Amino acid sequence: MENLPASSRRKFIKKMGLATAAVATSSHVLASTTKNVYVEKLKRTPASVNDKINIALIGAGGMGVQDTITALQVPNTKLVAACDLYDGRLKEAQAKWGKDLFISRHYKEILNRNDVDAVIIATPDHWHQQISVDAMRAGKHVYCEKPMVHDITEGPAVIKAQTETGKIFQVGSQSVSSLGNEKAKALLKDGAIGQLNYAEGFWARHSPIGAWQYLIPADASPATVDWETFISNTHKRPFDATRFFRWRNYLDYGTGMAGDLFVHLFSSLHFITNSFGPNKIYASGGLRYWKDGREVPDVLLGTFDYPESKAHAPFNLSLRCNFVDGTSGTTYLKLVGSEGSMDITWDSVTLKRNKTTDSDDPFYIEQMKKAGTPVTDRKRILPPEEYTFAAEKGYKGGPYDHFVNFFTAIRNGGKVTEDAVFGYRAAAPALLCNDSYNQDKAILWNPENMQLIKK
């Protein structure tokens, strides 16, 4: 396959041989105390920064605040305005960032300001598309949280707005900017695991907050919450604080486990493999435990067929998400190839390679003797079986790198990896998982031209 010529594999093996030989001399390659384990430090060179970039936050909840804290760590950035539909969040924003911060319930007031260069959109999912499109058309660069859109039909409008305005638009699956994902991409290209044939990932949690039972503020009421705006692009309903603050559990606003969590794994996988996505999506699951009126399952399994493409041979993906998981309590992504596997996180990659040893089969040994091949029982030096690539101490992480990439593209007129097309290709299979689960059937998708295939 195009992504895996034999020369690539040889290149990887040669590279690792040299690196292993360098263990004693390089400060970035560490000898480990564990037998047959290779450890290499990953490091990031700081990007240069020039012009000041003024940002505004739209959706000042949990992730919006976190994104803003991260964005402001990048030199020469300033927060000038914040927008939210709940007064408590606006007060908290001013308490955190100063009384001078302009605040509003109306995002269009933010977009009308001349001093705003870029906006962070961290509202619930059902507002991503409209605010993104309006923001780009108002001349703002956009950092929009994942998933890029709430429904499969909404992607093309975001792509069109980005193409027509030329604004930088980046989706917030921060893993794609991490050292760990970058290293995995390079290792796959070098043939480190041979030909990719299978990938798997999961998210596992077991706590009320992990399962989206967030606290509802005591002062939540139609006076403090702009409920009418919140539901203005979806079904009309009377004020409901549970729906507003636990929006992830309801289909009008959230995108379930797949849109919320699988989308991160799709983003990483597509970045590492250069894939456009799967062409067959099938999901199953159920609501097993968190029966609090939610409309989405708390256990979800998805299987995905990735067709042959210019970038890779066909492979299969299996994802699962379990909010009633009493054991694992974590997340992971693994790529499995013909010659090894990689466990990938934001700041590390653990590579395991097949061990190649001589057979001890007596028939095989007899045949080898007959063929004149010497068979000796002398022990040999074995190459490392496991390699760990870990970020240097002090690494600021994928979220910081993601904002650096966003601001660098704004400053240099460059490009970002996770643009509208990438964001749509990551969101689509996640959203189609929900459709598959709800309709109880496999869904066919053309990942290259980004269209549903009608059966």
Number of other CB atoms surrounding residue 199 within 10 Å: 26
Q: Which residue has the tokens 């998933």?
A: 147
Q: Which is nearer to ligand NAD, 203 or 315 (CB)?
A: 203
Task: Determine whether 200 is exposed, middle or buried from the number of CB atoms within 10 Å of its CB (0-12, 13-18, 19+).
Answer: middle
Q: Which residue is nearest to ligand NAD (CB)?
A: 61
Does the protein bind ligand NAD through residue 107 (CB under 6 A)? yes
> Smallest distance, Å, CB 120 to ligand NAD?
10
Considering the complex, state which of residue 11 and residue 91 has its C-beta at the smaller distance from ligand NAD: 91
- C-alpha to C-alpha distances, 28 to 19, 169, 353, nearest whole angstrom: 10, 35, 21
Residues 250-289 that bind ligand NAD (CB under 6 A): 260
3-state secondary structure (DSSP) of residue 104 = strand
Q: Which of 67, 101, 430 is nearest to 281 (CA)?
A: 430
Contacts of ligand NAD in 127-156 (CB under 6 A):
127, 145-146
Radius of gyration of the chain (CA): 25
Per-residue binding letters, 163-182, with ligand NAD (x by CB under 6 A) = ---------x-x--------
Interface map 210-239 toward ligand NAD (x if CB under 6 A): -------------------xx---------
The least distance separating ligand NAD from the CB of residue 423, rounded to whole angstroms, comes to 12
Partners of 102 in the β-ladder: 81
CB nearer ligand NAD, residue 89 or residue 425 = 89
* Residue 122 found at the interface with ligand NAD (CB under 6 A): yes
End-to-end CA distance of the chain: 30
The reply on whether position 190 binds ligand NAD by CB under 6 A is no
Residue 89 interacts with ligand NAD (CB under 6 A)?
yes
Residue from 39, 40, 84, 346 in contact with ligand NAD (CB under 6 A): 84
Decide: is 62 part of the binding site for ligand NAD (CB under 6 A).
Answer: yes
- Among 305, 281, 292, 324, residue whose Cα is nearest residue 434: 281
Residues in CB range of 310: below 8 A, 6 or more apart? 2
List phi, psi (to 5°) of 424.
Answer: -70, -40
CB of 210 to ligand NAD, least distance (A): 12
Alpha-helix runs per DSSP H in 112-154? 128-137
- Which residues of the shown chain bind ligand NAD in the complex (CB under 6 A)? 58-64, 83-86, 89, 107, 122-125, 127, 145-146, 172, 174, 229-230, 260
